[in-house]
Amino acid sequence: MPIRLHNSFTRQLEDLRPIVAGKVTMYNCGPTVYSSPHIGNFRSFLFADVLRRFLEDQGYEVTQVMNITDVGHLTLDDVEGGEDKMEAESKRTGRTAWDIAKQYTEEFQTCQEQLNVRLPHHMPRATDFIEQMGEIIEDLLKKGVAYEVNGNVYFEVGKFPAYGKLSGKVLDELEAGARVAVNKEKKDPRDFALWKVDDQHQMQWDGPFTGGQRGFPGWHIECSAMSMHYLGRSIDIHTGGEDNVFPHHECEIAQTEAHTGERFVGIWMHARHLLVDNTKMSKSLGNFFTVSDILAKGYTGIELRYALTRVQYRQSLNFTLHGLDEARKAIARVAEARKRLVRIREGEERAGGDDLKDVIQAAHDNFTASMQDDLNVSEALAATFDFVAACNKSEASVDGAKQALLAFARFEDVLAVFGDEPVASDAPPELVALLAKRKVAKASKDWATADQIRDEIGAAGWKIVDAAAGARLEKA
């Protein structure tokens, strides 16, 4: 069974057919580092991470590139005025744009670790690729699909007939002046900037193309440059949030394909936006969360990851704090089942005779089929929970437990929402001794002593679990 993925470009599910058999090249639109990344950003990044993990699970050699946008992302208020997000934040805080970019890049990387993200192979910064952007601009100027006015360089959309195909926009509909002041420099209001002249800009470079003046690059050109640098002219998969479809990805296609004459991307994939309490996340509504906001409330990275991953990427996901509580319980259910299997494997709990072979096979098959179906994580989780129930009901043999744990390890490898394999028991010896004393007390019906010992163990941060198979200690 091939992996089927939804291609935004064709609006259809398509079999993944990499350019080079067995290898997948993937580019993910990454963060703009002018403020703390929020959980909505991470829904997209986690989607990319799960995609990469599943491709690797399926035996593909993946090369993953995620850019860090540290320049040239123009603000709405000032789209044609030349100020970008980094500059705006700099003005607001009185710090340099370079400082701001550095701080938030580091914060982004910390969040990735907290959320159990497998790091992309390359995470290039736009500011390190000015020269490569210049090469593309130079070529587009030479080909006559870009033009220069007062030092500013624009891509001439009218020269690229396929413009609008990804987003489904008809050119005529992109009317001038709808939401943005008309820029008289442009031949056509739809034309977009490749290079902006601005000698006030903190981040400025000599124009990296013939006759180029000092300034900074437009937003879209960075992804074309970095994608081509690391992955070549044509790549298999390009991901981003749904808001990237237009204009960002539309512009990427235009400038890249006008430059190379080849198809830029095989499959475009876009993650639906996250909603919080059924409405768009925004600072003014008070439903805006960064990763650290959630961690500060006492939730773990993995709980947040579960909550952000559990719904398929193309469905809108409604994030709530209640959802985090549910995630915590669901994760615990999986952990409990794994713990029991570990105890059986380690000989700490009596093993049965069931090798769980059929159950394990069904779990693997269902999990794989779900993920192959355009990364249907909800179904893959259902397969996992069915497996939990089956394991709990079984009288697993030592080998059965061992194999079942390997299956759980695989599901964790792909989704990374359950955590590492739990340890059977690592209680300190003195507490184990106390537990033995309690057993004696209980046998002689000395409840006072037994309860006292339970309190002592509780005070040490552990709890006694009286199960049918005998009492054991677990971290409270």
Site for RNA in 312-331 (CB under 7 A): 312, 315-318, 320, 322-323, 325-326, 329-330
User: Is residue 3 near RNA by the rule CB under 7 A?
Assistant: no
Q: Least distance to RNA from the beta carbon of 38, Å?
A: 7
Residue 319 CB, shortest distance to RNA, in Å, is: 9
Backbone angles phi, psi at 446, to 5 degrees: -90, 75
**In the complex with RNA, which residue's Cβ is closer, 59 or 283?**
283
Q: Is residue 192 near RNA by the rule CB under 7 A?
A: yes
Site size toward RNA (CB under 7 A) is 88
**C-beta closer to RNA: residue 23 or 280:** 280
Amino acid letter at 418? F
Q: How far is CA 427 from CA 276, 334, 365, in A?
A: 40, 21, 37
Q: Which two tokens stand for residue 304?
A: 């947040």
Q: Which of 59, 76, 444, 455 binds RNA (CB under 7 A)?
A: 76
**Going by C-beta distance under 8 Å and a sequence separation of 6 or more, which residues neighbour residue 403?**
355, 356, 357, 360
Residues between 16 and 45 with contacts to RNA, criterion CB under 7 A:
29, 31-32, 37-38, 40-41, 43-44
381 touches RNA (CB under 7 A): yes
Backbone angles phi, psi at 84, to 5 degrees: -110, 175
**What are the start-end ranges of the E strands in 39-119?**
61-66
By CB under 7 A, what part of segment 156-185 binds RNA?
A: 167-170, 173-174, 176, 178-180
Range 383-412, binding RNA (CB under 7 A): 385-386, 388-389, 392-393
Burial of 9 (0-12, 13-18, 19+ CB in 10 A): buried
Min dist CB 97 to RNA, Å, is 15
* Shortest spacing between CB 468 and RNA, in angstroms: 4
Task: Transcribe 398-459 into DSSP letters.
Answer: HHHHHHHHHHHHHHHHHH--S-SPPPS----HHHHHHHHHHHHHHHTT-HHHHHHHHHHHHH
Report the distance separating Cα 250 and Cα 169, nearest Å: 10
**Residue 466, interface with RNA (CB under 7 A)?**
yes
Beta bridge partners of 50: none
Query: Six-digit token pair at 72?
Result: 């040239």
How far is it, in rounded angstroms, from Cα 140 to Cα 121? 29
Q: Which of 5, 1, 2 is nearest to 376 (CA)?
A: 5
Task: Indicate whether 421 belongs to the interface with RNA (CB under 7 A).
Answer: no
Environment class of 474 (CB within 10 Å of its CB; exposed 0-12, middle 13-18, buried 19+): middle
> Which range in 134-142, 310-318, 354-362, 414-422 contacts RNA by CB under 7 A?
310-318
- Positive or negative, the CA dihedral 332, 334, 337, 338 is negative
Q: Does 125 bind RNA (CB under 7 A)?
A: no
Tell me the closest approach of the beta carbon of residue 266 to RNA, in angstroms.
19
Q: Which helix (H) or strand (E) holds 134?
A: helix 130-143
Choose one: 139-147, 289-297, 305-313, 412-420; the region binding RNA (CB under 7 A).
305-313
Answer yes or no whether residue 240 interacts with RNA by CB under 7 A: yes
Q: Which of 450, 457, 462, 473 binds RNA (CB under 7 A)?
A: 450
Whole-Å CA distances, 195 to 78, 133, 137, 438, 445: 15, 9, 8, 76, 83
Where in 258-287 is the site for RNA (CB under 7 A)? 271, 273-275, 278-281
CB of 465 to RNA, least distance (A): 4
Distance CA 165, CA 90 (A): 36
Among 58-66, 260-268, 382-390, 424-432, the segment contacting RNA (CB under 7 A): 382-390
Looking at the Cβ atoms of 140 and 274, the one nearer to RNA is 274
If one asks whether residue 9 binds RNA (CB under 7 A), the answer comes out as no
Subset of residues 320 to 379 that bind RNA, contact rule: CB under 7 A: 320, 322-323, 325-326, 329-330, 332-333, 336-337, 373, 376, 378-379
Q: Which is nearer to RNA, 22 or 177 (CB)?
A: 177
SS3 assignment, position 309: helix
* Of 17, 447, 461, 475, the one binding RNA by CB under 7 A: 447
Nearer to RNA, 207 or 241 (CB): 241
Answer yes or no whether residue 309 interacts with RNA by CB under 7 A: no
Residue 324 and residue 304 in contact, taking contact as beta carbons nearer than 8 Å = yes
Contact call for residue 468 and RNA (CB under 7 A): yes
Q: Does 247 bind RNA (CB under 7 A)?
A: yes
Residue 79 found at the interface with RNA (CB under 7 A): yes
